Amino acid sequence: MLYLLGVVAIALGILISVSLHEAGHMLTAKAFGMKVTRYFVGFGPTLWSFRRGETEYGIKAIPLGGFCKIVGMTPQDDDVEPGDEHRAMWRYPVWKRTIVMSAGSVTHFALAIVAIWLVAMFVGMPNRDLPNPLPAHVKVVDCVIPTDALRECAAGDPVSPAKQAGLRDDDKILAVNGTPVADYTELVKKVRDLPPGKATIRYERDGVQNDAQVTLAAVQRKPLDDPNGVPKTVSALGVAGPVPPPGVPATVTYGPVEAIPATAGYTKDLAVGTYEAMKRIPEKVPALWTAITGGERDKDTPISVVGASRLGGEALANGFWQMLPFLFISLNFFVGVFNLLPLLPLDGGHIAIAWFERARSWLYARIGRRDPGRVDYMKLMPLTYAVILVGGAFTLLTVTADVVNPITLFSR
């Protein structure tokens, strides 16, 4: 039940965001005097609608987005009624058209920033004072999974060697067989390099250092540097991590004023992360295909709305409800940036053409040539169809991967 609730929460959040995106277009267009004839949530057959003034508002049967119809978006549109020629969108100054076309993305950014501010006050932001990388403070698990399967402990699984040796949550591992370890990643590497059997673990608890004699378990794991590699026999200590040092919170909450710089810092990090993620999209396509055809799903591959909804359900089912607002924030920020790419039929494509027309008119006036007028959108249709085809194929690829081989974050 919690899983379903999480799925619905993320899906509903996305639907509301897209609806507000279209509302941003509509409200700015109306403010400038443009004619908006329709505003609907969803696609397909109309379930309910009403008319107020010159605009029809309603809900359609397929809740996968929404749209608003602004009259005369391009000179080639034939939806302008006699007497409304002066209200056609393409006739308005370029700065007004830019505001209208960017209002959708601005809405996504506003939703993300407000959500970050609220999270900073009521949920908590990642603690920037945490050491990076974190020292090898660990959480002792109940068992070790002999195979490379992603599952919880089951009857017959060996008891965790760390638990048998008396190690506890928050112990800081200092060395393995006398070899120092600086962080959790180094701890895992050192343990895996040892043969299964006896080992000495040097740890620190409450400021006091001690040694624990453990019997490392033999398990099947894929190489750390090759998540798609063939599993091989390695050693396991039976701990999870890294965890923050004792007394150091993983998250920090702020007051309303203090949350403002925290929001700005997180927004900056989100912008950089989104840019880096978008740069890596082309190289992740083969990994998506591998996931669909039976290979391991790389957790760094893109996800669709389906995948995001499933992660929301998994988070809520495992008691990590705090992850839901962060998913909402990331999705809104990504959609806001993506929608501004200078490609038709995205809003950024319309903005780019408007400013290209303006720059070209300015240049021709300076060199004494006749203004070439507006761009013929019909000549750009092949490029538009190509973008739609590529975007549709990528969407289908991510949705398929999220159905047949979804990313999971909470299985061990």
Say what the pLDDT of residue 150 is: 63
For residue 377, name the pLDDT band (cuts at 50, 70, 90): very high
% of the chain residues with pLDDT over 70:
97
Is residue 378 scored above 70 in pLDDT? yes
Q: Would you give the distance in Å from CA 51 to the centre of its chain? A: 36
**Inside any domain, residue 108:** no
**Inside any domain, residue 33:** no
Is residue 199 scored above 60 in pLDDT? yes
**Inside any domain, residue 25:** no
**Using CB atoms within 10 A of its CB, is residue 270 exposed (0-12), middle (13-18) or buried (19+)?**
buried
User: Annotated catalytic residue: which of 22, 54, 152, 314?
Assistant: 22
Flag the least confident range among 57-66, 102-111, 140-149: 140-149
Active site residue 22: yes
Q: Which CATH number goes with the domain that contains 171?
A: 2.30.42.10
**Inside any domain, residue 195:** yes
DSSP string, 45-100: EEEEEEEETTEEEEEEEEEEEEEEEETTSSTT---PPTT-GGG-GGGS-HHHHHHH
- Tell me the residue range of the domain where 163 lies: 139-240
Is residue 411 scored above 50 in pLDDT? no
What is the number of alpha carbons within 13 Å of residue 403 lying toward its C-beta?
6
Total number of domains in the chain: 1
In tens, the pLDDT along 121-167 reads: 999 988 877 777 778 888 888 888 888 776 678 888 888 999 999 99
Distance CA 176, CA 173 (A): 8
Is residue 23 scored above 50 in pLDDT? yes
Q: What angle do CA 412, 193, 197 make, to 5 degrees?
A: 80
Q: Are 411 and 317 in contact (CB under 8 A)?
A: no
Q: Are 90 and 377 in contact (CB under 8 A)?
A: no
In sequence order, what are the beta bridge partners of 56? 38, 51
**Inside any domain, residue 200:** yes
Distance CA 400, CA 315 (A): 21
Is residue 396 scored above 70 in pLDDT? yes
Q: Would you give the distance in Å from CA 193 to the centre of its chain? A: 35
Helix (H, G, I), strand (E, B) or coil at 406: coil
Backbone torsions φ then ψ of 171, nearest 5 degrees: -60, 140
Helix (H, G, I), strand (E, B) or coil at 343: coil
**Inside any domain, residue 396:** no
**Inside any domain, residue 359:** no
Is residue 412 scored above 50 in pLDDT? no
pTM of the model as a whole: 0.80
